[in-house]
Amino acid sequence: MKPSRLPLVTALVVLVFFYLPIAMLIAQSFNAAKFGGQWNGFSFRWYQELWAREDIHQAAWNTLLIAVTSTIASVVLGALAAWCIHRYKTRTQRIHYGLIYAPLVVPDILMGLSLLFLFVNVGVQLNFTTIILAHTTFCLSYVTLVMLGRLQDFDDAVIEAAQDLGAGWGTIIRRILLPLLGPGLAAGGLLAFTLSIDDFVITFLVSGPGNTTLPVKIFSMMRRSSPQVINALSVIFMSVTFITVLLSQRLTRPQP
Amino acid sequence: MKKRRWIEQALTWPSFGWLVIFFAVPTVLVFALSFKPADLSGGAAPGWTLETWRSLNNPAYPGIVWRTLWLSGACTVVCLGLGVPVAYWIARLDVRWRQRVLLLIILPFWTNFLIRIFAWRTLLHPDGFVKSVCVSLGWAEPNTQLLYNNGAILLVLVYTYLPFAILPLYAATEKFDFTLFEAARDLGATKWRAFRSVFLPGIRTGLLTAFLIVFIPALGSYAIPAIVGGPTSEMIGNKIAQRATTDRNLPHAAALGAVLTLVIFVPLGVAAYLRRRDRLDVTTTPVDEPASP
């Protein structure tokens, strides 16, 4: 039987489709021309311009600070949640699991909108803290699911054995849980970190004036001017993410 | 075991409470707020009213809801249509190559998604690459507008959600027992028949996940239509954001948010129905999980 060519052809077309915009972006970031229409020669002009933009630096710094804070918060909360759902099979935990799962099926725009309502109704100013609270909320579900996946392979008997041998919870956490579940925590944390850095829609709705993150900044730059600077910014942003992803692949690769 | 119960409560409380405060309560608030009169300062005035819901009777809205539904539906169909052959191709590759190709597929999507939308805007721009290729091949007139229409939105929607369709489809295809396919062919089924009656039912969990994972986020799109769509191709998400930020009419945004929430129950309901039906006829399912190699 002659195998069909269709899957191969589709896959190649799809891969070209996936990489075309990115290749174009990289090429454009080195284009000396002010608009993308023609090629005026190779230049670092846009990177130099980027270097001088204080507002972009500030946004990048905000993004990083928000990502680190909400990663820590969501890993702590997510690890606790996964532990409870895994260990106690009570009705409370079934509701708990439902609460963890539900945010995953709600589109960003609705989540952002509902958080905006909450903050407005309570009367808090939209600022850094509201962004961190929002990011922690959507990262929490992902971290918990990653941790739950790890806990499925975890043998609870190890803990009982340690308890029988007289270990207290402090020792168990330090000597058993952290080493065995560490890679899961790291994977969940990296996921939370990238999700937070990447988020635009929710941040856009819950950020006040003056606390922009990089994606929100990019959005407002797109509406106004300087498209070529965005290309340069995108290439840097992209390189940082690629390096993080490749590193995390190294870290989380199963040990032989 | 009184003590154990107490420990469970204490450990559950932080994440449980967090999600109640920052997810459950705000979601209910969306519905509640849509029955409040708007206040000039951007909040809600005291009292209750049906005025906001009545104002949804605006003739522009049915068009926007309809556009949101068909663009998301078309995006889902295209993503599944392209995703199935790609998943099939990857699943039939050498094990060593599978991981590499999967990484190749995921990698572009670790780029911030605004940046990817922006890249498409540059590509489709009147002076852009795609336009000049199309014109030189005679597919487009020099004055054809590729941007700011429904077609551009659909293209970028597919670009954004296709990998999310490929991954679950691949996971299901990888588990599929390809000898069943050969058996069907030996018994005289045509290729198409074997594909339709053996392969597609075999990967239906993957199809269902891909459907949910593409259709629901597409329904809530905001950034894509805002960047590559024009004023005549808005989706519900754009109207929600516009009411919530520029117009500062929160009750109105809430009512639209409630409409979107209700729309989302449709695919979720379909999925729940299919899952339940699946569970009922497990006994007739011929597909067993093959042992891993």
Residues A235-251 have a mean pLDDT of: 78
In angstroms, the separation between the Cα of residue A57 and the nearest Cα of chain B is 17
Choose, out of B1, B105, B111, the residue to mutate when testing the contact with A (most A CBs < 10 Å).
B111
B155 pLDDT higher than 50: yes
Query: Which range, of A219-223, B100-104, B172-176, B204-208, averages the lowest pLDDT?
Result: A219-223
**For the residues B237-254, what does the mean pLDDT come to?**
89
Q: Give the residue with greater pLDDT, B188 vs B19.
A: B19
Going by pLDDT thresholds of 50, 70 and 90, the confidence category of residue B287 is: very low
For the cut 90, the answer to whether the pLDDT of residue B86 exceeds it is yes
- Top-confidence residue, A226 or A184: A184
Beta-bridge mates of residue A42: A31
Take residue B19 and report the two structure tokens written for it.
């999600």
Instruction: Give percent of chain A above pLDDT 90.
Output: 41
CB pairs under 8 A between A and B: 236
**Can you give the pLDDT at residue B167?**
93
Helix axes B113-124 and A214-223, enclosed angle (nearest 10): 20
What is the DSSP secondary-structure string of A15-80? HHHHHHHHHHHHHHHTB-SSSTTS---B--HHHHHHHT-HHHHHHHHHHHHHHHHHHHHHHHHHHH
- Given this model, what pLDDT does residue B25 score? 95
What's the confidence (pLDDT) of residue B284? 44
Query: What is the pLDDT averaged over residues B178-201?
Result: 87
Q: Do B216 and A107 touch (CB under 8 A)?
A: yes
The per-residue pLDDT for B283 is 47
Identify the band that residue B2 occupies on the pLDDT scale cut at 50, 70 and 90: low
CB B104 within 8 A of CB B190: no
> Which pLDDT band, with edges at 50, 70 and 90, does A251 fall under?
low
Predicted local distance difference test score (pLDDT) of residue B220: 93
Does residue A247 surpass a pLDDT of 80?
A: no
Q: What is the DSSP string of B94-117?
A: -HHHHHHHHHHHHGGGGS-HHHHH
pLDDT, residue B230, reads 82
In A142-201, the residues whose Cβ lies within 8 Å of chain B are 144, 194, 197-198, 200-201
Residues of B with CB below 8 A from A197's CB?
Answer: 112
- The per-residue DSSP string of B69-81 comes to HHHHHHHHHHHHH
Q: Which residues of A touch B253 (CB under 8 A)?
A: 113
- Rounded CA-CA distance B215/B231 in Å is 23
Band the pLDDT of A252: cuts 50, 70, 90.
low
pLDDT at B276: 86
SS3 call for B14? helix
Shortest Cα distance, chain B CAs vs residue A82, angstroms = 9
What integer pLDDT is reported at residue A35 of this predicted model? 67
Position A66 scores a pLDDT of 96
Band (pLDDT 50/70/90 cuts) for residue A179 is confident
Tell me what the mean pLDDT of segment A176-184 comes to.
Answer: 85
pLDDT (0 to 100) of residue B280: 64
Question: DSSP secondary-structure letter at A127?
Answer: S
Torsion sign over Cα A121, A122, A125, A127: negative
Residue A225's pLDDT is: 63
Please report the pLDDT score of residue A49 as a whole number. Answer: 84
pLDDT in tens, B194-240: 888 889 998 999 999 999 999 999 999 999 999 888 888 889 999 99
Residue A37 pLDDT exceeds 70? no
A37 touches chain B (CB under 8 A): yes
* pLDDT given at position A1: 45
Residue B289: per-residue pLDDT: 39
B52-67 pLDDT, tens digit each? 888 787 777 888 999 9
For A95-154, write each residue's pLDDT tens digit. Answer: 999 999 999 989 999 999 999 999 988 888 888 899 999 999 999 999 999 999 888 888
Mean of per-residue pLDDT scores for chain A: 87
Q: Does residue A250 carry a pLDDT above 80? A: no
- Whether residues B112 and A84 touch (CB distance < 8 A) is answered with no
pLDDT of residue A50: 85
